[in-house]
Each structure stands twice: as C-alpha cells, then as structure tokens.
Amino acid sequence: METDMKTLPLGRAFTLIEPGPLVLVTTNDGRKDNVMTITWTMVTGFSASFAITTGPWNHSYAALQETRECVIAVPTVDMIDIAIGVGTCSGRDTDKFDKFGLTPVKARHVRAPLISQCLANIECRVVDIIDRHSIVMLEGIAAYFDSSRKEKRTIHAVGDGTFIVDGRRLDRKDMMRDKLPGGL
Ligand SMILES: Cc1cc2nc3c(=O)[nH]c(=O)nc-3n(C[C@H](O)[C@H](O)[C@H](O)COP(=O)(O)O)c2cc1C
C-alpha cells in the first residue's frame, strides 16, 4: 500500500504523544519548601489518581520518598519562564520560592505548600513508587481552582524545548454522556 508515512527516529516518538499540562510539584522535607517542574504526568483514573515520572537525580525525590506527600500545582502560559527556571535549578542549593517570587500557601492535609500564583493545586499522597520505571503514583486528597484568574491556558511541553499552549475547547459532552465506564 502506498503511504506518505516516513520513518521517524524512535527516540522522537515521545514528542508525538504530548502529555500535559506541564505542572509544578512542591514538597517539604521537614526543613524547607521546594518545587520542581514536571512534564511527564498522567491521569490514571477518575478517582483523583495521577502518575509523575521522576527519580533520584532530582532533590525533590528524597522528600517524595520520605514524606510521601506533595502538591501538584498547575501554572498558566504567563508563568512559562518561571516554570522553566524552576526546572533548571535545584532545591539543593536554591530557594526556588524566593528566587522565582512564588508564594507558598499552607495546604490543608500535607506539609508541601500550594502555589498561590497557579491556576490550580492538588494536594497528594504518594501511594506507590515504581523505581524500575521512575514512576511515582499519587492520590489526590484535596483540589483547588482559581476561577477568578483571567489567564487559564495551560502549557504543554513537547519535550524538545518547545511548548504548545491550550487552544479552543470543543464540547462533545452530549455524544459521550452515559457511554463511558467512568461516566461524565
Ligand atoms: C520544561 C521542563 C520539564 C521537566 N520535566 C521533568 C519531568 O517530567 N520529570 C523530571 O524528573 N524532571 C523534569 N524536569 C527537570 C526537573 O524539573 C529539574 O531537574 C528540577 O530542577 C529538579 O529540582 P530539584 O532538584 O529541586 O528537585 C523538567 C524540567 C523542565 C525545564
């Protein structure tokens, strides 16, 4: 069969399945707050279940392992340079809340802080760490959304240093209602 499909280097395949949105993950190791940027996220169920891909190369990982808690904070497009700044330095030697002017807000159930400037925050418990695949499984225990915020477009990282911004929202609720296992 004729096709216009050309072979793509397998190492670029991840850029085709764009995850999103890019998030900030906060932790507190008992001494201080820290925050990192995470592109590789996944929703794993309707019951507030998430996965992030990270590992011991990040300072935040020890806090995730030891405290079994974090907050997923969702920045918007106006925060892209902050998100990249946060993801290109380490809490090992930098107070990132101070450096990037982020305001920590006390969470209700975990010691890791919410980020006031973000569109949304989800308090999470670490329920599993799958070392073999560098996957940290999270269960959301409280969520917050700032509907007063004008900018609501989130950032989606392609993985090659470029980013896509949320576009038009399409509504197909009528077609899907009562037709999916989790419902709508
Ligand atoms: C745009 C962007 C996306 C990133 N995505 C991830 C990711 O999905 N997983 C990961 O482990 N690190 C990711 N990083 C790297 C961490 O955010 C980075 O290593 C961070 O500085 C770790 O901070 P820490 O050492 O204070 O924990 C990303 C960085 C950037 C700039």
- Ligand 1 centre from 3 Cα, in Å? 38
16 Cβ contact partners less than 8 Å away, ≥ 6 residues apart: 8
Please state which CATH class domain 20-176 belongs to: mainly beta
Q: How confident is the model at residue 183 (pLDDT cuts 50, 70, 90)?
A: low
Give the 3-state secondary structure of residue 61: helix
Q: How confident is the model at residue 179 (pLDDT cuts 50, 70, 90)?
A: confident
- Ligand 1 centre from 116 Cα, in Å? 20
The answer, yes or no, to whether any atom of ligand 1 lies below 6 A from the CB of 91, is yes
**pLDDT of the residue at 144:** 95
Other beta carbons within 10 angstroms of residue 59's beta carbon come to 17
The answer, yes or no, to whether any atom of ligand 1 lies below 6 A from the CB of 36, is yes
Q: Which of 169, 129, 140, 133 is nearest to 152 (CA)?
A: 169
Q: How confident is the model at residue 165 (pLDDT cuts 50, 70, 90)?
A: very high
Phi, psi of 46 (to 5 degrees): -75, -20
- Ligand 1 centre from 39 Cα, in Å? 8
> What are the residue boundaries of the structural domains of the chain, listed by start?
20-176
- Ligand 1 centre from 38 Cα, in Å? 5
Q: What is the pLDDT of residues 15-60, one digit of tens each?
A: 788 668 999 999 999 999 999 999 999 999 888 999 999 999 999 9
Q: What is the pLDDT of residues 103-162, one digit of tens each?
A: 999 999 999 999 999 999 999 999 999 999 999 999 999 999 999 999 999 999 999 999
